[in-house]
Structure 1
């Protein structure tokens, strides 16, 4: 009896997997590089939402709509292209690796710029005769978050 149940389960699984067809290639398929660029922008906007949500909410433009307009695409074109590439895991993995590499490069660039600005501030302070640590204290002070007011 156990063998019959196992055979039945295996047949059901095989028949369930058989119904998954490869998605048709969309007529307006985004190229791999276009897909990478859109995903980079979507990642940046997603990160910006976490950092400064109120500013994005107050803007009149939807972040996703802005990205679609920037790349001259619509949400359906992106969704169909994403579905097409996601079906082929090797190609999608390449796309996501390029996105990750690009975001890491951007992060390094902005960290380098931030360090250069901080060093420039330290140099300006030392020229003006201020103590060397003042700029570092100022930078740390700017990064501190204000404590919420106590509710009575």
Structure 2
């Protein structure tokens, strides 16, 4: 019975001592501001979510993925760890940081989708223009067939079509470039 009371007393004693340490971690001397913490976490999230192709590109450009964020924001891993630990203990501050982080990532995602939509429209327009050109060329080639007086189609063979195409090309070139005459040739 005495042994049970002693164990209970020691257990309560250690619980009280442990609860006194719930003040949380001390505020680091070089605590990272909330704004900078949001920027750091955005960069860290973007790097970790990069696909393998982008990671290979970063590695090929001699970018160290593990230290890039620290170098960019001029911090070290200890400073980040202490600041992160401090903010994690102070839940309200951490929630504020993560709310701002989520909002920023959503805005980036919306901008990316907008940019992709613009690129898709441009690509679609180029494809439509190409199809229109092909269609016009088909119509032009169809016009190379003639009808006789009875309305029967007279098809030309490939040599005749090539001759007509060459004639059309020459006519187009003549319309673009005026011939230059040598004055000596005209006087003779």
- TM-score of the superposed pair, with normalisation by structure 2: 0.58
1:69 and 1:108, CA in 2 relative to 1: closer, same or farther beyond 3 A? same
Contact kept in structure 2, 1:28 and 1:77, CA below 8 Å: yes
Aligned-partner Cα distance in 2 for 1:22–1:50: 39
Matched, 1:112 2:131: no
Partner of 1:122: 124
- Rounded Cα–Cα distance in structure 2 between residues aligned with 1:60 and 1:26: 33
2: distance between equivalents of 1:49 and 1:121? 24
Asked if the contact 2:37/2:97 (under 8 Å) is kept, the reply is yes
- 2:47 corresponds to: 45
Q: How does 1:1-150 map to 2 (within 5 A)?
A: 11=12, 15-48=17-50, 52-56=54-58, 60-129=62-131
CA 1:17–1:53: 2 relative to 1, 3 Å: farther
Gaps of 5+ in 2: 134-188
Q: Deviations over 1:5-57 (max 9, x none)?
A: xx87x946555333333211111111110000000000001101566454455
Aligned residues: 127
Cα distance, 1:127 vs. partner?
A: 1.7
Q: Relative to structure 1, is the Cα distance of residues 15 and 49 closer, same or farther in structure 2, using a 3 angstrom cutoff?
A: farther
8 A Cα contact 2:59 2:65, kept in partner: no
Task: Compute the TM-score of the two structures, normalised by the length of structure 1.
Answer: 0.70
- Mapped contact 1:32–1:95 kept (Cα < 8 A): yes
Contact 2:43/2:69, CA 8 A, preserved across alignment: yes
Bigger relative contact order, structure 1 or 2, given CA contacts below 8 A and separation 6+? 1
- Unaligned 5+ residue runs, structure 1? 132-152
Rg larger for: 2
CA RMSD of the aligned region, Å? 2.8
